[in-house]
Structure 1
Amino acid sequence: MRIVEIRENVASISSNISNAYIDFSRMTCSVVAIITDVIRDGKPVVGYGYHSNGRYDVQGILRNRILPRLTDADPDSLLDDTGNNLDPFRIWDVMMKNEKPGGHGERPVAVGAVDMAVWDAVAKIADVPLWKLLADRYRGGVADDKVWLYAAGGYYYPGKDHRALQAEMQSYLDRGYRVVKMKIGGASLDEDQRRIEAALEVVGHGRNLCVDANGRFDLDTAIRYAEALAPYNLFWYEEAGDPLDYALQAELANHYDHAMATGENLFSHQDARNLLRHGGMRPDRDWLQFDCSLSYGLVEYLRTLDVMAEMGWSSRRVVPHGGHQLSLNMAAGLHLGGNESYPDVFRPYNGFADDIPVEDGHVRLPDSPGIGFERRAELLADMKRLLD
């Protein structure tokens, strides 16, 4: 078998929402297609991939560095030992050839987008859902039959008052979610408390609500928020300070007994190790949010899970950022703790299979080969529009 062609383009996922740090008015993402010479149902097998929101498209890195290495490589060097399928690890090594350690920047985003397409193609060629392929390879064939989700929303946008926030949260409950998330840090502490209390009137209990500061706070502000949040007994308090300020995170743990979450803006297994060494994260209550599509893909994520196991962390404490189907497959196949979901924002690069509803805060996975993009009609149509 051979890779016949690799295509990339840029998708817009812009909207007028904002968090405490950025707005999404010009947000983009890179989309990738890997076309193979394997024929199924009269058509070539194509693997699709893209990266999560929050990082802009990486077209320059893809065109100038990552993709030329793959197209210039010996085709056999990209295959597994059988010669009948692609090898994600060998492909990853080719993509990273002549790249220095560290200095991750936007490079892990580019590799992550291609890596997603590789795994989609691998599972399609194997004619199994990706979650089953992962479970068979790495978890003794045992996969979760459903995945816990939380609905991420509660963004700031012009004119959004408490009633609009409450209506949004109610809409998530109506669609089967039980835990929801909202943004903080884009208003004063007093106003954010009023917003939290308005949301709690709808969701009913702090254990049904997460809050996310998107790295906005210095230590003093993070502690002031922690003291104000403590009585609510929230599901988690997310990314209070800069993602690389492990000292802030460690000190915050001395002031906040309830669960915290962070990790979506860390991009390698070395970053994960440093967080667990120095960030004061507590394996009995805290959550890790590493996003494979922003951090060199699933190949690197497997290394991250190994680091966690070495340091006494269960994979069940991982709930990936990103709200995409790759992480959903990983959650089921690798026994993660759940997955983020974006019911309304970043369309169409959000959501899961159209025909599988969220029920009591959980979703089942499709049984079609690959990641499952073919069961998400709006997303597949947009990727084909950009890449065909």
Structure 2
Amino acid sequence: MKILEIREVTLPISSSIRNAYIDFSKMTLSLVAVMTDVIRDGKPVVGYGFNSNGRYGQGNLMRERFIPRVLAADPASLMNGAGDNLDPHKIWDCMYTNEKPGGHGERSVAIGTIDMAVWDAVAKIANKPLFQHLADEYGNGQPNRKVFVYAAGGYYYPGQDHGKLKDEMRSYLDRGYTVVKKKIGGASLDEDLRRIDSILSVLQDGQRLCVDANGRFDLDTAIAYAKALSQYDLFWYEEPGDPLDFELQAALRSYYKNPMATGENLFSMQDARNLIRYGGMRPDRDWLQFDCALSYGLVEYLRTLDMLHEHGWSPSRCIPHGGHQMSLNIAAGLGLGGNESYPDLFQPFGGFPDGVKVENSYITMPDLVGIGFEGKADLYSQMHKLSD
């Protein structure tokens, strides 16, 4: 059993939208195929992966460092102890060989993307959905088939007005979501509050709004928004300041009593640990958004979950960023609190397998082997081109 080849292609996911910090007019991602010599149902097993939006493709790093290390390794050194599957932890160690600690940046995205494809292959070799494989290996064997999801949107874009913003949110509600999100910080505080009021005017009982500043604010601005947002019953106030400014995050707990969320731009267990140690996050109400596809993959995410447990946090307080099926499987298999969803954006990489419906902001995981990419026709057509 061995990995025969790892292929990568950089693809555009550009659009005219922007948040408070960046626009997506030139956004790309890396799509990876891990090709093995294992045959299932008469076909070679291929695992697929891609990185989340917001960090661009990482093809050069993969081709120069991480892919060659895996392909140069003794295949036996990458197998599990039983010799009947690949071992993602050993493959991760191989990729990280000769890498210094710290400075996690872009290499965490490159490794995380390959890691996703490895886990897809591992679950396919085991002939299980990844969520079931994770529940068997790291849980009690009983996954949570129903996963909470919320609709991420409310970006700024040319020509947007309050009517279009309300129509966008209505479209998410009509598709079964009860929690929606909009961006803040890309306009004045007064205008952002008017936009929030517009969205709240279309929400019904039991429907909630999140807001996301994408790390834009200094402390004074973050506090000003916190005071203004306190008048609303928001689902959360997300990433007000720079993701590594733990002092700012900690200070906000004195000004904002309702739930806050952050973590999508922390790319290692060590950085996540510093957030928990110094960021003032409250395990009874706040949310953690670490995204495995950007932070060295599931191997590192398992370390992060162990760290959270040591600090008294439940995995149910984790709702990952990224809107991809990998995190859906982790949520179902390891008991996370849910997953982000992009109903319309970053297609075909966002969304769920065909036929999966959102009901009261929950989806039910289908019985698809691996991560389940093959169940989403428009996505799998891109993946098949890479592996064919």
TM-score of the pair, normalised by structure 1: 0.99
Aligned equivalent of 1:351: 351
Match of 2:75 in 1: 75
- Look up the match of 1:277: 277
Equivalent-residue separation in structure 1 for 2:249 and 2:85 (angstroms)? 43
User: C-alpha offsets along residues 341-373 of structure 1, whole Å, 9 cap, x if unaligned?
Assistant: 000000111001111111111001111210000
Tell me which residue corresponds to 2:297.
297
Q: Tell me how far 1:387 sits from its aligned partner.
A: 4.2
1:321 aligns with 2:321: yes
**Distance (whole Å) between structure 2 residues aligned to residue 289 and residue 113 of structure 1:** 17
Letter of the 1:14 counterpart: S
Partner of 2:26: 26
Cross-structure match for 1:376: 376
Amino acid at match of 2:249: Q
Partner residue in 1 for 2:48: 48
1:11 matched to 2:11? yes
Q: Which residue of 2 aligns with 1:197?
A: 197
Q: Helix, strand or coil for the counterpart of 1:354?
A: coil
Once residues 145 and 387 of structure 1 are traced to their aligned partners in structure 2, the CA distance between those partners, rounded to angstroms, is: 30
Question: Contact 1:200/1:206 (CA < 8 Å) preserved in 2?
Answer: no
SS of the equivalent of 2:230 reads helix
1:281 maps to amino acid: M
- Which residue matches 1:220? 220
Shift of 1:231: 0.7
Q: CA deviation at 1:236?
A: 0.1
Q: Distance in 1 between matches of 2:110 and 2:155?
A: 26
State the match for 1:229 in structure 2: 229
C-alpha distance in 2 between matches for 1:207 and 1:242: 29
Give the counterpart letter for 1:294 in structure 2: L
Tell me how far 1:204 sits from its aligned partner: 3.2
Task: Give SS of 1:101's match.
Answer: coil
Q: Calculate the TM-score normalised by the size of structure 2.
A: 0.99
Secondary structure of the 2:89 match is helix
Aligned residues: 388
Backbone CA RMSD of aligned residues? 0.9
* Counterparts of 2:40 and 2:274, CA distance in 1: 44
Task: Give the Cα–Cα distance (whole angstroms) in 2 for the partners of residues 43 and 128 of structure 1.
Answer: 16
What's the counterpart of residue 140 of structure 1?
140
Q: Which amino acid aligns with 2:51?
A: H
Give the aligned partner of residue 312 of structure 1.
312
Separation (CA, whole Å) in 1 of partners of 2:157 and 2:179: 22
CA distance in 2, matches of 1:136, 1:83: 18
Quote the Cα distance in structure 2 between the aligned partners of 1:142 and 1:206. Answer: 29
| Mapped partners of 2:3, 2:295: distance in 1 | 24
* TM-aligned CA deviation for residue 6 of structure 1: 0.9
Q: Tell me by how many angstroms 1:15 deviates.
A: 0.5
Matched AA of 1:118: V
Deviation at 1:61, TM superposition (A): 0.4
* Identical aligned residues as a percent: 67
Residue 207 of structure 1 deviates from its aligned partner by: 6.0
Distance 1:226 1:206 in 2: 23
- Secondary structure of the residue aligned to 1:380 is helix
Indicate if the aligned counterparts of 1:10 and 1:386 stay in contact, CA closer than 8 A: no
> Structure 1, residues 163-203: CA drift from partner, whole Å, max 9, x if none?
00000000000001000000000000000000000000112
2-side partners of 1:305 and 1:41: how far apart? 35
Q: Distance in 1 between matches of 2:324 and 2:368?
A: 16
Q: CA contact under 8 A between 1:12 and 1:26: conserved in structure 2?
A: yes
What secondary structure sits across from 1:294 in the alignment? coil
In structure 1, give the amino acid aligned to 2:168. E
Q: Name the CA distance, whole Å, in 2 between partners of 1:56 and 1:208.
A: 31
Give secondary structure in 2 for the equivalent of 1:19. Answer: coil
Is 1:253 the equivalent of 2:218?
Answer: no
The one-letter amino acid paired with 2:20 is A
Q: Secondary structure at the match of 2:202?
A: helix
Distance between the aligned counterparts of 1:118 and 1:156, measured in 2?
A: 36
Output the CA distance in 2 between the equivalents of 1:73 and 1:203: 55
**Structure 1: how far apart are the matches of 2:207 and 2:216?**
23
- What is the Cα deviation at residue 140 of structure 1? 1.1
Counterpart Cα distance in 2 of 1:210 and 1:204: 15
Q: Which amino acid aligns with 1:123?
A: A
Instruction: Give the CA deviation at 1:386.
Output: 3.8
Code of the aligned partner of 1:237: Y
* Secondary structure of the structure 2 residue equivalent to 1:48: strand
2: CA distance, partners of 1:206 / 1:270:
37
Aligned with 2:61: secondary structure? helix
> Is the 2:35–2:387 Cα contact (8 Å) retained in structure 1?
no
Residue 296 of structure 1 aligns with an amino acid whose one-letter code is Y
Give the letter aligned to residue 312 of structure 1.
G
Are the equivalent residues in 2 in contact too, given 1:206–1:235 (CA < 8 A)? no
- Helix, strand or coil: the match of 1:232? coil
Structure 1's unaligned 5+ residue stretches are none
Distance 1:335 1:353 in 2: 20
Q: Is the 8 A contact 1:206 1:233 kept in 2?
A: no
1:84 to partner: Cα distance? 1.7
Map of 1:170 onto structure 2: 170
Q: Deviating runs (4+, > 4 A) in structure 1?
A: none
Compute the displacement of 1:385 (Å).
2.4
